[in-house]
Amino acid sequence: MKRVLVALVLVVAATACSGGSGGSGTIKVGAINGITGLFQTPEVPQAVKAVFEEVNAAGGINGRKLELISKDDAMNPQRATEAARELIDSEEVVAFVGSSSAVDCGLNRATYSKAQVISIPAVGVDPACFNSPNIAPVNPGPFKLLTAMLYYSSETLGHQKVCLAFTVLPGSGGGIDAAIKEWTDLTGKTLTVKDTSVGQGDPTPYLVKLKSAGCQSVIYNAQVGPWFAQAKTQGMTDVEFILMANAYTDANAALIPAGMRAQAGTEWQPYTDETLPGNDRWAKVVNTNKIQKTAFSQGGVMAADVFVQVLKTIKGDITRESVTQAFKNMQPINYPMVGTPWVFGPGETHNPIEGSRFVKAENGKWVVLPEGFIVPKKN
């Protein structure tokens, strides 16, 4: 009898230590978000929470409710690392869903791997978000986006002289080079000008260089207002300036002078048109809950949706171990708000979303272009 009792105690103890909020009670899910500091995305955890509340109102997952525990890292490395440890050790979350931190991936990738917990960021920013075995964002990220923008310039617009004028953030130079190489490998083409020294001061020297080279397309990622004002002064009305996704805001559209040609690449369906495939679902969530309409909130809804979809496939107890296994073994999910299926899978790196849709500036507003998602492919 004593042996039976000892064995029972061991089984209970092993179950309690199996990782994550298993058994009864809420299913705890973590996120690290920028709520204060230089990179603020408060709409992201709000969007994730809204999806979870929708699921909970419908009965939850096998009768258990989802609980989002979001921590603000204020773009502070120490706070980001402490937040990850607290969520894993103290809160015993089963997964991270909808993180939107500029520093999380690079700092915590090893922590996630050691704890065997998966993270589905709503917004992947630095290269580590796309080169880690336990992290798979729902956005293409800046480097896959850059490849798509280069491909769009040369293959869709048919421009022979494609140029790049970038402000390079610390640690992103390698990702930019890899994105350019991928485009070259696919198309056999090279940049006419590659200038990664663009600063925040007078843009005139950079624009003069681009104009002298005869650039037809310029991929650009810095300040919008001063750049376009000076480009108009230089008479560069025949150049197609294609802006990175961070420039896709109503405020920036209003800064582009009449007569200038400007487009922007988007990571999800352009959020300014709620009728586009997938945007109806996102719009319902943000409108019902009065959440700010941004591309980042799209990522929050998508991260929560794919998490819930995979969670519903788990047979038996929902623990960190069973959740991680389910995502490593999952089938791809076709989510209409992005250009390619999303999947986690067993690989050492994860960058499943590729491609971009494009919008152009007209009369101070962004207008969605008709081509659909441009996904780079071998010519």
Q: What is the pLDDT of residue 200?
A: 81
What is the per-residue pLDDT for 4?
38
Rounded to an integer, what distance in angstroms lies between the CA atom of residue 81 and that of residue 73?
9
Please indicate whether the domains covering 2-140+275-328 and 142-266+356-368 agree at the CATH topology level: yes
**What residues form DSSP beta bridges with 119?**
96, 135
Q: What percent of the chain has pLDDT over 90?
A: 88
Checking if the pLDDT of 102 tops 50, the result is yes
Q: What is the pLDDT of residue 13?
A: 37
Q: Find tokens 């849709």 and name the residue.
A: 357
Cα–Cα dist 297/231, whole Å: 32
Q: Give all strands (DSSP E) within the chain, no chain letters.
A: 27-33, 66-72, 95-97, 119-120, 162-165, 193-195, 217-220, 240-243, 261-266, 357-362, 365-368
Residues contacting 321, CB < 8 A, separation 6+: 18, 19, 20, 116
- Beta pairing partners, 365: 362
Q: Please provide residue 371's backbone torsions phi and psi, each rounded to the nearest 5 degrees.
A: -65, -15
- Buried/exposed code over 113-150 (b: 16+ C-beta within 10 A; e: otherwise): eebbbbbbbbbbbbbbbbbbbbbbbbbbbbbbbbbbbb
pLDDT of residue 19: 53
What is the distance between the alpha carbons of residues 60 and 53, in angstroms, rounded to a whole number? 9
Nearest to 374 by CA among 270, 247, 285: 270
Residue 242, beta-bridge partner list: 219, 263
| Domain 2-140+275-328, architecture per CATH | 3-Layer(aba) Sandwich (3.40)
User: Euclidean distance between the first and final Cα of the chain, in Å?
Assistant: 72
Residue pair 28/20 in contact (Cβ under 8 Å)? The answer is yes
pLDDT of residue 23: 57
pLDDT at 2 over 60: no
pTM to 2 decimal places: 0.90
For residue range 32-86, what is the model confidence (pLDDT) as tens digits?
A: 999 999 899 999 999 999 999 999 999 999 999 999 999 999 999 999 999 999 9
Per-residue pLDDT, 15: 37
Q: Where are the domains of the chain?
A: 2-140+275-328, 142-266+356-368
The predicted structure's pLDDT at residue 172: 77
User: String of b and e for 257-282 (b: at least 16 CB within 10 Å)?
Assistant: eeebbbbbbbbbbbbbeeebebbebb
Contact between 197 and 165 (Cβ < 8 Å): no
Which DSSP string do the residues of 331-370 spell out, in sequence order? PPB--TTSSS-B---S-S-------BEEEEEETTEEEE-T
- May I ask the CATH class of domain 142-266+356-368? alpha beta
Give the dihedral of Cα atoms 217, 295, 76, 111; nearest 10 deg: -100
State the Cα–Cα distance between residues 289 and 301, nearest whole angstrom: 12
Is residue 138 a contact partner of residue 152, using CB atoms and an 8 Å limit?
no
As a whole number, the mean pLDDT across the chain is 93
- Could you tell me which residues are beta bridge partners of residue 356? 374
- Name, in order, each residue with C-beta under 8 angstroms of 222's C-beta and a sequence gap of 6 or more: 165, 166, 167, 198, 199, 200, 203
The neighbouring-strand residues paired with 357 are: 266
Q: Tell me the pLDDT band of 136, cut-offs 50, 70 and 90.
A: very high
What is the β-pairing status of strands 162-165 and 193-195? parallel
